Amino acid sequence: MRKAMLRAADPFVGTWKVNVAKSKLAGLPLVQRLVESGTIKVESLDNGIKSTFEGVDAEGKAFRSEWSGKYDDKDYPLKGNPTIDTSAMKKIDMNTIVEVSKKAGKQVARFQYTVSKDGKTLTATGKIIDPRGQEYNVTYVCDRQ
Task: Render pLDDT for 31-45 as a digit per residue (tens, 0 to 9).
Answer: 444 556 789 999 999
Residue 122 has pLDDT above 50, yes or no: yes
Residues of the domain holding 43: 2-144
CATH number at residue 11: 2.40.128.20
Handedness of CA 34, 38, 44, 45 (dihedral sign): negative
For the chain, what is the domain count?
Answer: 1
Nearest C-alpha neighbor of 51 from the set 33, 62, 64: 64
Handedness of CA 16, 79, 114, 62 (dihedral sign): negative
CA atoms within 13 A on the CB side of 112: 9
Are 126 and 135 contacting, i.e. CB atoms less than 8 angstroms apart? no
Nearest C-alpha neighbor of 101 from the set 60, 133, 56, 67: 67
Are 139 and 23 contacting, i.e. CB atoms less than 8 angstroms apart? yes
> Between 49 and 46, where is the model more confident?
49
Element (H, E) at 103: strand 96-103
Between CA 98 and CA 71 the distance in angstroms is 9
Strand partners, 100: 88, 110
Between CA 118 and CA 140 the distance in angstroms is 18
Q: What is the pLDDT of residues 47-104, one digit of tens each?
A: 899 999 998 766 777 889 999 999 999 999 999 988 899 999 999 999 999 999 999 9
